[in-house]
Structure 1
Amino acid sequence: MSKVPSKSRAKLYGKDDMAELDWSFYENGAFLKEYFDEFITDTTAYMKNVDTEIFLAAIGRKLIPCTVNEAEYNNSYVCSPYTHYITYAKEELRFISPKALRTLLAAIINIFGSFAKSIEINKIVYINNYCLSTNLVSALSKREIRALRNLLTEQFPKYQLGFRSINAITHKDMMVSFEEEGFELLPSRYIYISTYDRLNTPTKSERKKRRQDEKGLTEGMTIVTNKDLATEDIGRIVELYNQLYIEKYSVLNPQFTYKFIEKLLDKDLFLFQGIKINGRLEAISGTFVLNNMMTNPIYGYNLSLFPQHQLYRILRHLNTRLALDNQYLYHQSAGAGNFKKARSGEGTPEYTALYVGHLPFHKKYFWKLLSLLLKKIGIPLVEKLEL
Structure 2
Amino acid sequence: MDWEQARSLAYQAGVAAAGRAERVPLADADGRTLAEPLRALTDLPAFPTSSIDGWAVRGPGPWLPEGRVLAGGTPPPLSRDGACVEIATGAMVPEGATALVRIEDSTTGPDGRVSGEPRNGPVPDWRLPGEEAHRGEELLPAGTPIDPAVIGVAATCGYSDVPVYPVPRAAMLVFGDELLTEGPPGAGRVRDSLGPQVPGWLRRNGATVTSVTGPVKDTLDAHLDAIRSGLDEADVVCTTGGTMHGPVDHLHPALAELGADYIVNTVAVRPGFPMLLARVPGPRPRFIAGLPGNPQSAVIALISLVAPLLAGLRGRPLAPLPLVELSAAVRGRGGDTHLALAALDASGRTATPVGHVGSAMLRGLANAHGFVVVRPGSQAAAGDLVPFLPLPLTPGER
Q: What is the TM-score of this pair, normalised by structure 1?
A: 0.22
Q: What is the TM-score of this pair, normalised by structure 2?
A: 0.22
- When you count strand as a share of all residues, which structure comes out higher? 2
Larger relative contact order, structure 1 or 2 (CA cutoff 8 Å, min sep 6) = 1
